[in-house]
Amino acid sequence: MDDLLNALADKGVRGETPTRDEALAVLRTSDDDLLDVVAAAGKVRRRWFGRRVKLNYLVNLKSGLCPEDCSYCSQRLGSRTGILKYSWLQPDEAAEAAAAGVRGGAKRVCVVASGRGPSDRDVSRVSETIEAIKERNAQVEVCACLGLLADGQAERLRRAGADAYNHNLNTSEATYGDICTTHTYEDRVSTVERARGAGLSPCSGLIAGMGESDEDLVDVVFSLRDLDADSVPVNFLLPFEGTPLADEWNMTPQRALRILAMVRFVCPDVEVRLAAGREVHLRSLQPLALYLANSLFLGDYLTSEGQAGKADLEMIRDAGFVVEDAATTTLPGHRRGQRADDGGGADGPDGVNEADGAGAVSAGSRAGGADAVADRPARPHERVAVRRRGAGTELPPNA
C-alpha cells in the first residue's frame, strides 16, 4: 500500500495521471489505510493549491418544474419532494442574492436554472442577470448553469460577462441511461465542449452514491480528465423523498473520502470542489476533505439547506486553511494559459436539474425528522433539509 500511495503522490506532484488500475486501487483501500490515502492525496492538493480554499455560492434563478427525468433530482419531472417552485428571479433579485454570498467570502457565484436547456430569451434574461451581478461586484466570477446549450448560446453568455459554464457528466457513459432517459450522456459532453469552445471555463463533475460500481466512478473521472474540465464538483447523492433514488443510502464518510482522493489523483492540478451532500455523508469528517478538495460551496444549495456559512468558515480556519481572495488566481499557471481568463472552475450542481446539490441535515429540521414518514424504515442518516430560505423566499439567505 505504501508503494502505491507514494507512486500516486509522486505522479500527482508532477501533474501526471495515474492508471485506471491505480485509481481503482484507491477506492478499494481499507478504512485502516484511510489516513494514509488522505495524506498522499493531500500532498498533491498542496502542490497545486497550497492551503487555499475557494468559496462558491449558488443562486437558484428558477426552481422546480423541470421536464427532464433524472432519477437523482428533486426538480425532476414528477418529483414529489415538496421543494420550492418559482419562475425566474428578476436580475436585481438575483444580484442581491449573489451579493450575500460575496459578503460571506464567495469568489464565484453560480447562477442556476432548472430545465432541459435555455431558450434564446432565457439566455437574454440570464445575460441581464450576469450584468447586474457584476455591476454590484465587479471582481466576482460568474458561472452559468442552464442545461444543454444550443449553438451560439455559450458565446452570448461569454459576451455578457460569464466566466464559466457548468454541466456535470454525473456518472459513467455505460450507466447514464439508467438514471436519465430524456437526454443522453453525449448531450452533456457536447454542452461542455460548446462552453469550452466559447472561451468559458468548463466545469463538469459527478454524483457518487447512486448505486454505481467502482469502475463507473473511475470511468466518469477519467472522462472528466479527458474533457479537460477546469473544475470538478464532487457531489454525493442526497436521496430526496419523492425521487426514484430515495432509498440509495449507501455512502459512508470513509468511502466519500476515498472517492475525493481518487478524483484528486486523477485530476491533480484541477479545482476539485466539495459539492452536494458533503454535510450529510462526510458529517464530522468534513475537515479531512479539505486536504483533498480546494473548493466548496458556501451556505445553502439549490433545493436543500447547507450548514451555516459561519460554520463553513470556522471549519476552514480550524483545519488550518485560508479562504482564497478575489485577487488570487485559482488554477496553476500552465492551466490558466489554456483559457481566455483565469478559468478557476465553474460551480455547482448542473443547471438542468442538479437539485442533488445539497445540504445540511439536523434532527428536527424543517424537512422533518426521521418520524416524518412513519411507513418507511429509519434512514441511516437524518433526513435532507429542503431549502425554505434565500432565493425565491422572503427569508434571508444562508451565507
The total domain count for the chain is: 1
Annotated binding site: which residue ranges?
A: 66, 70, 73, 110, 143, 203, 273
What span, in angstroms and rounded, lies between the C-alpha atoms of 251 and 40?
22
On whether residue 165 sits in a domain, the answer given is yes
Is 395 inside a domain boundary? no
Q: Binding site residues for [4Fe-4S] cluster, as ranges?
A: 66, 70, 73
Q: Residue 386 domain-assigned?
A: no
CATH number at residue 270: 3.20.20.70
Q: What are the pLDDT tens digits along the chain (399 aa)?
A: 899 999 999 999 999 999 999 999 999 999 999 999 999 999 999 999 999 999 999 999 998 888 899 999 888 877 777 788 889 999 999 999 999 999 999 999 999 998 999 999 999 999 999 999 999 999 999 999 999 999 999 999 999 999 999 999 999 999 999 999 999 999 999 999 999 999 999 999 999 999 999 999 999 999 999 999 999 999 999 998 888 999 999 899 999 999 999 999 999 999 999 998 999 999 999 999 999 999 999 988 888 888 889 999 999 999 999 999 999 999 999 987 555 444 333 333 332 233 333 332 222 332 333 333 334 444 544 567 788 788 888 788 887
Residue 399 counted as domain residue: no
Domain coverage including residue 185? 42-336
Give the other-Cβ count within 10 Å of 340's Cβ.
12
- Is residue 110 flagged as an active site residue? yes
Cβ neighbours, 10 Å, residue 273: 27
Which of 52, 66, 194, 383 is flagged as catalytic? 66
Please check whether residue 9 lies inside any domain of the structure. Answer: no
Residue 135 lies in a domain: yes
What phi, psi does 304 have (nearest 5°)? -140, 160
Instruction: State the Cα–Cα distance between residues 383 and 381, nearest whole angstrom.
Output: 6
* Cell numbers 457531489: residue: 235
Has 143 been annotated as catalytic?
yes
Given the residues 203, 255, 264, 387, select the one marked as catalytic.
Answer: 203
DSSP letter (8 states) at residue 314 = H
369 belongs to a structural domain = no
Nearest to 234 by CA among 202, 261, 269: 261
- Three-state SS for 48? helix
Q: Please say whether the beta carbons of 332 and 46 come within 8 A.
A: no
Rounded-to-integer distance, Cα 233 and Cα 204, Å: 7
User: Is 66 a residue of the active site?
Assistant: yes
Binding residues for [2Fe-2S] cluster, by number, are 110, 143, 203, 273
Selecting among 76, 143, 158, 267, the annotated active-site residue is 143
Q: What's the distance, Cα to Cα, between the start and end of the chain in Å?
A: 41
Q: Is residue 53 part of a domain?
A: yes
Query: Is 73 among the residues known to form the active site?
Result: yes
